[in-house]
């Protein structure tokens, strides 16, 4: 029996999976916090614009990988392809983001005159449907985040990917990176309520990291009972220092320790903000490493 590394999806697709999940989750979490908690509108507008940027850059990486015309035409016209549905989710996401973020930009004094140049009927509609756009964007953001896992789990030839645990792992990881990015931005907010928002975000992220660790444990436990290719892929990951140290230790365990310390013991101070900034950067780095090494460990299994 022999194993061959897949050579179809490289770092560009890992970047797309990471940025797509990050962009979708950032919009979803930010919009929900705005609707139900209230937050700094300036910071929120930066978060949404950043999320749109992440999604746009990620889409460019996807298109770069799909430069083969026949491959692209098949994927984009075939409803049984997850890329087909991903394009729909992403288009809805972009439309909702534009409708949602433009009224938020009025909170920036320098941008307000530019926003006022938009015809009043159009701006009025955007403001009227702002909550609906928030809900639509949050929903499409969630769908994009989970679709990034469904995209590669639909590969039956690679047993390590072909499991329902992978989409669940990716969506939890996406929301963890989204919470971490919003937490990073909240450390720069000067509004009094920002401390309360940061506290809720770190609690959310800590809970998501714990959930991610549980899913990882189940995923690798099942991998050792799946076909031989899945076991070999799991072994490759555990023998890869950047996966174990870079992702598991630096990207999950250390941020969880920092956030746990901050939640229960640290007083809100400049030092605490630096700790949260460090945790956020580590979570974001770990999110990319997870996707990169899961793709790297994809193996085709041959009976000879």
Taking only the tens place, the pLDDT of each residue in 241-290 is: 999 999 999 999 999 999 998 888 766 544 577 888 999 999 999 999 99
Q: Please give the tally of structural domains in the chain.
A: 1
- Rounded CA gap, 150 and 144, in Å? 10
* Range(s) of the domain holding residue 59: 2-302
Q: What is the mean pLDDT of residues 92-117?
A: 83
- The CATH number linked to 48 is 1.20.1630.10
Q: What is the pLDDT of residues 173-207, one digit of tens each?
A: 999 999 999 999 988 877 767 777 888 899 999 99
CA 141 from centre of chain:
9
Residue 195 tokens read as 């401390």
Q: Model's pTM, two decimal places? A: 0.89
What was the pLDDT predicted at 72? 54
- Alpha helix locations (H) across the chain? 11-36, 41-65, 69-77, 82-104, 112-115, 120-128, 130-153, 165-186, 194-223, 228-238, 241, 254-264, 270-296
């Amino acid at each position: 029996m022999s194993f061959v590394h897949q050579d179809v999806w490289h770092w560009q697709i890992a970047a797309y999976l990471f940025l797509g999940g990050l962009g979708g989750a950032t919009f979803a979490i930010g919009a929900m916090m705005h609707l139900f908690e209230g937050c700094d509108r300036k910071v929120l507008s930066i978060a949404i614009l950043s999320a749109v940027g992440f999604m746009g850059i990620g889409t460019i990486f996807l298109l770069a990988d799909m430069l083969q015309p026949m491959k692209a035409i098949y994927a984009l016209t075939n409803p049984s392809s997850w890329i087909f549905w991903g394009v729909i989710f992403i288009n809805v996401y972009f439309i909702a983001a534009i409708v949602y973020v433009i009224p938020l930009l009025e909170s920036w004094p320098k941008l307000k005159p530019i926003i006022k140049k938009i015809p009043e009927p159009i701006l009025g509609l955007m403001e009227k449907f702002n909550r609906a756009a928030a809900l639509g964007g949050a929903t499409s953001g969630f769908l994009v985040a989970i679709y990034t896992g469904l995209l590669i789990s639909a590969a039956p030839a690679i047993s390590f990917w072909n499991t329902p645990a992978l989409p669940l792992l990716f969506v939890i990881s996406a929301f963890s990176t989204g919470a971490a990015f919003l937490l990073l931005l909240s450390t720069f907010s000067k509004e009094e309520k920002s401390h309360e928002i940061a506290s809720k975000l770190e609690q959310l992220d800590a809970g998501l990291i714990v959930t991610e660790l549980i899913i990882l444990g189940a995923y690798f436990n099942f991998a050792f009972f799946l076909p031989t290719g899945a076991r070999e892929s799991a072994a490759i990951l555990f023998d890869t220092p950047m996966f174990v140290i870079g992702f598991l230790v630096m990207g999950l365990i250390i941020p969880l320790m920092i956030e746990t310390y901050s939640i229960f013991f640290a007083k809100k101070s400049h030092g605490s903000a630096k700790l949260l900034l460090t945790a956020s950067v580590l979570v974001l780095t770990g999110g990319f490493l997870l996707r990169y090494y899961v793709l790297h460990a994809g193996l085709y299994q041959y009976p000879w």
